[in-house]
Amino acid sequence: MRVSYIFPSIALLAPAFLSSVQASGAITESMSSHDDFIIADGYGPDRWGCSFRDSQVHESGAGTQITIGKDSDLKPFSCGELIHRQEDFGYGIYSIEMIPSSVVGQVTSFFVIANEDTEIDIELTGLNTKIAWMNIWHDHKQNPISINLPFDAADDWHTYSFEWRKNFVTWSVDGNVVLNRSDIATTPPDETNYRLVVNSWTQVNPEINIKWAGQFKYPNRGTPTSQFRNMRYRP
Ligand SMILES: *[C@@H]1O[C@H](CO)[C@@H](O)[C@H](O)[C@H]1NC(C)=O
């Protein structure tokens, strides 16, 4: 969902020679290391129940885990986000493997975003992990469509992808096309700066509506966790 991304220190954080990052190039990230990512820390949209803390983003042997915690100074909960250091994503094919949290109110997202222009999303919510939300934000409007999944996304790794072209966006799950839209415009990538992001956060107030993700309450047992691995982009 839309966040005002502020990247004041990108130049300081991103040396030009990062090995697996080529300017406007393809990327392949196992996500077992976070060298190519900026870890969000210390902010979060007002309407969310959490603010991003780097303490909630974990490298694991098999990718990245984002957890929900309670160490936010600003909000009831802390949550996590990784922003790829490459600054100029464009048309092409984006994919990732995810296992979303099944805790009601927790959102697990993979998206490209250009502030105030366009966002193309895949979102899984803990309220119902048998559907995926495919969304385009454009012109300050969301255009979400829910897709029934032939599995429970919380049970295992699956591949979620979208192909973004000038005149359409096609979403796929495990390589099968599930949605193709040409009815929503996107801002051309040469007119703005698209970033590639994953996050997990908590809905406490209606976003699209409360029935979208449900209202988050911290569970009595366990740590709410979403998992990500094998992020790819091919122009
Ligand atoms: C999606 O729709 C566009 C425009 O109608 C078309 O060019 C493209 O081939 C379609 N993609 C798929 C995978 O069906």
For the domain that residue 118 is a member of, what is the CATH number?
2.60.120.200
How is residue 101 written in tokens?
A: 């949290």
Domain assignment of residue 22, yes or no: no
Q: What percent of the chain has pLDDT over 90?
A: 79
Which is it for the CA torsion 66, 70, 74, 75, positive or negative?
positive
- Gap from CA of 177 to ligand 1 centroid (Å): 10
**Predicted pLDDT at 23:** 46
DSSP string for residues in 80-113: EEEEES---B-SEEEEEEEE---STTEEEEEEEE
Does residue 83 lie within any of the structural domains? yes
The answer to pTM > 0.85 is yes
Residue whose CA lies nearest to ligand 1 atom number 6: 168
Tell me what pLDDT residue 10 has. 35
> In the prediction, which pLDDT does 24 show?
64
Rounded Cα distance, 91 and 101, in Å: 29
Determine the pLDDT at residue 225. Answer: 98
The whole-number average pLDDT for the span 71-96 is 95
Contact 200, 80 (CB under 8 A): yes
Q: Is 168 in the pocket of ligand 1 (CB under 6 A)?
A: yes
In a domain, 16, yes or no: no
**Which atom of ligand 1 has the smallest separation from the CA of 180?**
1
What SS3 class is residue 222? coil
pLDDT score at 114 = 96
Whether residue 22 has pLDDT greater than 50:
no
The average confidence (pLDDT) of the chain is 89
Name the domain count of the chain.
Answer: 1
* Phi (first) and psi of residue 66, to 5 degrees: -115, 125
Q: What is the pLDDT of residue 208?
A: 59
Closest residue by Cα to atom 7, ligand 1, is 168
- Domain assignment present for 55: yes
- Identify the domain containing residue 120 by its residue range: 29-234
- Which of 190, 10, 31 is CA-nearest to residue 86? 10
The confidence score (pLDDT) of residue 47 equals 81
Average pLDDT over residues 226-232: 98
Ligand 1 pocket: which of 162, 163, 166, 170 to mutate (most atoms <8 Å of CB)? Answer: 170
Q: Residue 11 pLDDT > 80, yes or no?
A: no
Exposure of 169 in the CB half-sphere (CA atoms within 13 A): 28
Which position has the higher pLDDT, 5 or 34? 34
Whether residue 20 lies inside any domain: the answer is no
Q: Is residue 205 part of a domain?
A: yes
Question: Is 99 within a domain?
Answer: yes
Q: Is the pLDDT of residue 51 over 70?
A: yes
User: Is the shortest distance between the CB of 166 and ligand 1 below 6 Å?
Assistant: no
96-121: b (≥16 Cβ within 10 Å) or e = bbbbbbbbbbbbbbbbbbbbebbbbb
Measured in angstroms, how far is the CA atom of residue 133 from the centroid of ligand 1? Answer: 19
The residue that leads in pLDDT, 224 or 73, is 224
Q: Would you say 53 and 82 are in contact if contact means Cβ atoms under 8 Å apart?
A: no
Q: Is the CB of 177 under 6 A from ligand 1?
A: yes
| Residue 159 located in a structural domain | yes
Where does the pLDDT of residue 207 fall: very low under 50, low under 70, confident under 90, or very high at 90 and above?
Answer: low
